[in-house]
Chain A
Amino acid sequence: MLKESLTRLRFLFSRRTRSELDAELAFHLEEQTRANMAAGMSAGAARRQARIDFGGVERAREQCHEARPRYRLEMLVQDVLYSLRGFRRSPVFTITVIATLMLGIGATTAVFSVVDRILFRSLPYAHSDRLVSLGIVHSLETQEFVMGNFYYEWRANQRPFEALTSESTGPSECDLTERSPAQLSCESVEGNLLPTLGVSPVVGRNFLPEESRAGGPNVALISYGLWLNRFGLDRRILNKTINIDGHPVQVVGVLPKEFEMPRLESADVLYPFQIDEVANRKENGGYGSPRRIFARLKPGVTVEQARQEMEPLFQESLKQVPADIRKQMHLMVRSMRDKQMQDVRVAAWVLFGAVLAVMLIACANVASLLMARGAGRRRELAVRSALGASRGRLVAQALTESMLLALSGAVAGCLLAEGLLRLFVAIAPGNVPYLSQVHLDLRIVCFAVLVAVLCGLLFGLAPVFEKPGAEMLAGRSGRNATRASLRQWLVISQIAASMVLLTGAMLLVRSFWNLEHEQLGVRADRTLTVSVTLGSYNYGTSQSRMAFFRELEKRLRFGPGVNGVAVSDSVPPEDFHIGAQRIEDIVVEGRPRPHEASGELVKFRRVSPDYFRTLDIPIVLGEGFTDAERGSQQHFAVLSKALAERLFPGQNAVGQRMQIGSGDANPASYTVVGVAADVKNGGLTGEQLPEYYRLRRDQAEDWECCGHWGQTAVVILRSSLPAEALSPWIRTQVAAIDPALSVDTATMRQRMSKLVDGPRFQTILLGFFAVTGLTLAVIGLYGVISFLVAQRTQEIGVRMALGATRVGILQLVCARSLRLIAWGAGTGLLAALGVSRVLSSLLYGVGVRDPLTLIVVTLVLVAVAFVATLIPARAAAQVDPMVALRCE
């Protein structure tokens, strides 16, 4: 086989002279003549007979030529050159096809590369399709969790899972207390987390059973990132102890580079749970410490089956929960993928649909253009066929042409995709998972190119397989009717598809507009927030936390241009759930405690007195907090207007006293000193909840709180200086108190803009698709109408000769195109109404059937499409009847 190829290759490069073949054939004829003469023929007759026996000399010569290995290559070169000449002759056609393919392939590939990571990529765990996250959800916590006691019961009695594992919900800040201290995040996990996920350490080992018991040795797994940055990938790390929060910890292993925690949180250090179960059962009010749990399904068990099997255990556990909270709790079991992707999924599917629509429009365009070209070239084909071109040659030629177009489109498309991908990464919000790792996927590129090539082949070859009739040579075209109607259908579906895209994009734009112009109720200009999270080792006591933030507040108060400083534990409008409680936990003095649980939630913040002034939240009633109250022994509160109206309808809330605390034996009594205007507090799109503010006094008890949340506080600054100038100064001030802390500064504007990052991303992407789709559809419509006009030039000439006016001709052409537009827009409108429902979870402040959107989109589409037909229609009206009649 190899030898044969080599021989062919040799002949490919050696050039055979034509004279050699001539000599060979001449020798044959002479020998035959000689033989004939020897048989007794005359010289003339012998020569004649020899030629007859031989057959066509020229034909033999050609066949020898075709047998050469070079022949096909030469034909290919010829075809390519011919196609290129053809492209140069009709540059508009060529550029349109390539641009269409470029847009189609580019957009499809880029977006699919992003969506693929979100929807279809495999998680970095073994058999990740069998991993689930499960637990209880309720109105205060929408991410599933489980109490320790429940977990022990579930683990002992469950059937659907191969293994259950858990991690703590607790604080994760920790400090590397070594020569150069650093803040890390440390997670505590059950010893079997890695085996359950199907992951093994790259260096070292997983936790041993004796290390996952109460009183076990201090051991940890560290992340690849920490290993790289801190220890330079030194394998001797395994014998080292590192100092975390003042304790020596032995490193037993390093996690793989691509490892991700099940909740995608960052973790530099993993500790094994060293929990005494018996003791733990009594903790946390007798519920056990809360966990996040994950499980591996047994083979063949579905998520839904698992949920049904766990339901009895869940109901059993619920019996331990007070009856009024019970009905707000639900069991949730969902796949790990769903857990990790949260609501990004819907957006991803929407994008995917948009991509398909654009691809459809692009393909319809290419098909339509190629058909038009094919119809225009039937005469050329007929001539070539008449001159002796075989069907094979014509097919090869058409194939070459289609492939050239498809490949140039594909190359351009890949370049576009690469550019788009960079653009996406640049504008995407931080919460789109894995976006930074996205790259052009070769499979996707191949898929898009394949679709384009198939589409090109199908419609590029169609004209060749039509038998070129004799009438084509005469230039009469009569059989275009079916093709024309197919193309019209294509245009209708293009318009319909872009109508759907435009509607979706328009709805998102309106929703985005609503978000951007949302009244927040707080001041956003020239307001800077400084968020600091303290390590629980250095700042374990409430005293030390208070001291730190008081010191920071004092230092910042004297900053350049600063004219307001407040300290709070959180800042609106961000959504936070920890500072929330049930409304039943607020008991107004002099009223009975309500028995019935309403499920209503109230938010609260702990703030310093200047909070309202710094954020420009007006106090509508009463005084608000005063600096003097900071030193008081009493508790003070300010209610939001909504809460004041809820608790004290028609009454003056100021001066009322209420007891706040959930079921505590000794709830604190708060005096209401004012009512503040409402602010957005459920994120930009979330429900706005009633809210109250507790004065955070200079008392250690006000700095006592729960886990992570108690370690973080936000200093809000109002300054006449721009944020960029102020931030470095703030950092030096924090570093002056404690150089190991990390500081997160952001203006209120930035915080808000971050909240609309997601919607902005979706809007831009879908808008991009809508514009692409519309452009392609308009090109398609233009192409069809101008083709129809070109075909009817003669007819138009006759009409004009018979007295038709230019206006009449204009109407004739426009009426036809308007029919197409009306059909397309009508179908598109129906489809849009059906499809836009999937967008509902992405929209804010606008319905999925928003009439304004539908009207505007219809008008825009009709107007743009109409302009696209006016150009060829005007050309038709300019037809000179004399020229038209003579032209054929």
Chain B
Amino acid sequence: MKNKNKQSNIYRFFISPSRGDSPFKRMAIHLTLIIACAIAVYPVLRIISVSLRPGDRLLSTSLAIIPKDASLYSYYRIIFEKPFLLWLWNSLAITVTTAFIGLILASTSAYAFSRWKFPGRVPGLFFLLTTQMIPAAMLVVPIYILAVRFQLINSYRGLALAYSVSSVPFSIWILKGYYDTIPRELEEAAKIDGASQMGTFFRIILPLSTPALAIVFLFNFMMAWNDWIMARIMLQRENMFTWPLGIWTLAGQFRVEWGAFTAASILVAVPVMALFLYSSKWLISGLTLGSVKG
């Protein structure tokens, strides 16, 4: 009896009632989605699998996800025998600083773009959009030479400066879109009660925009956190590396340290992915806020 019940549950899972589709079609849809999920997830599972392999069998043609004699040796090595924690700290310090600078610059400028029709507004918005098309590889050449001239190579300062405004144009667009949706009546009411223009900005607009500010902070953070190319040219000493550079050297050209690379990847990716999946709904709405408005 119990067995039969279980079977029907499985049956119901795969062939649930929906808008007039035939059971065969529903099966086909689930099958396609399962295959797509497998393709999406398998390469990630492989990273976990390799990171768990014992040191002498890192290279193997086995396709098993959990290797037979799984060990955490690679994790031990990456934490205690490589400057991995130092790389993470470098990344974290630079990224948090620049994300805050970017957020402050963007939140005030977006308010100006949203509430005043000052001369140069439309060309300004167009210019901000154009900067999004500049390839990172294009900016990297002059920034490298200027950094050499101003002796900013191999310093936290140089990299932080290079990152600080790079996501400001995009942030301004998103925040402007969000501020536009806040009714002006709220500000007018506050003004009647005697608040100044800046008072309404700090006491009404900013608190109401918390979700958008969070999205912009996250965007700024992710941009700098995941960047490789700017760090590559600005940092040359291994103890200054950010984590993308460090991981890249582990998976280097000639001698790939598979265990260390995969273990480091998992340690970096798990918190990032958790944060990302947790906030993905906001991220999407944030992406479309600035460009598409009903």
* A-B complex is real: no
| B binding-site residues for A, Cβ under 8 Å | none
